[in-house]
Amino acid sequence: MSRKDASIETTCPYCGVGCGVTTSLDDDRLIAVSGTRSHPANFGKLCVKGSNLPVSLCEDDRLLHPLVDGIAQNWETALSTAAERLKSIIAQHGPEAVAVYASGQLLTEDYYVANKFVKGALGHAQIDTNSRLCMASAVSSYKRSLGADAVPTCYDDLEEAGLILMVGSNAAWAHPILYNRMMQARRRLGTRIVVIDPRETASCAIADLHLPLRPGSDAALFNFLLRSVANSGALDENFITRHTEGFEKALLACRDWDLKRTAEATDLSLEALSK
């Protein structure tokens, strides 16, 4: 059943912020979008990506039929041709001559089917997705440091923070709505913002301090920061006792990371590190 003059609330798919989107449909065709005012992620705001959803979903410039050698074909012909050519490549060069790189926007069930297809039908394990490329390091870090692949914070925390560290993040481009909330917090509370990134990105525009460290030297910098916080007596001992394990070992591991050694390892100046 088609929907005419319908309005449906959904979520923008473009990034991890999860902005609420209110769509306007005319005979099942998306004609307009707006930010959902009651949504706790964006409160009615949309960035340029979300606000242009009708353009990206427009049929005018989209491929509506499968093509085989540039010629429109029905699905049966297209799938049969693809299967035959894959079989030919595997027969000639072996199963490892074919690899699959999947989208980061697939659902869990889609990943499952894709893995079954590659490993069961094609006969190899050469499948990867943007999900792993994008998040594998974060998942590993969360599990090792927190015990689970979960981010222990919420957007409201950013609006109450006295200090925000942006490490390798260019939120101004990648997550504009969240970046906007940081800017609002800065105007309202005077929140100090530090960007730790080898690149000078658009996010540096609101930074009180940009630390363009040498790529791969993040651990050295954070060892130094932990040592500095401990030496200044600013550790929250109550929180550490209740929520951490092995903290003493962490302090021992960073004890030799003084100002000079850290500056040499990160290519940052002594002045910048002292700030």
List pLDDT tens digits, range 237-247: 999 999 888 99
Mean pLDDT across the chain: 91
Higher pLDDT, 30 or 116: 116
Identify the three-state secondary structure at position 158: helix
Q: What is the mean pLDDT of residues 100-114?
A: 87
C-alpha dihedral, 59 to 62 to 66 to 67, nearest 10°: 140
In this structure, the number of other CB atoms found within 10 A of the CB of residue 253 comes to: 14
pLDDT band at 15 (very low <50, low <70, confident <90, very high): confident
Helix-helix angle 218-231:259-266, to 10 degrees: 160
Confidence (pLDDT) at 88: 95
Higher pLDDT, 4 or 89: 89
Q: What is the mean pLDDT of residues 110-120?
A: 92
Confidence (pLDDT) at 4: 61
* Rounded (5°) CA angle 182-183-187: 120
CA distance 36 to 51: 12
Whole-structure pTM value: 0.78
Tens digit of pLDDT for each residue in 170-180? 999 999 999 99
Tens digit of pLDDT for each residue in 149-194? 887 788 999 889 999 999 999 999 999 999 999 999 999 999 999 9
Identify the three-state secondary structure at position 80: helix
Which of 106-110, 190-194, 255-259 comes out lowest in average pLDDT? Answer: 106-110
Confidence (pLDDT) at 1: 44
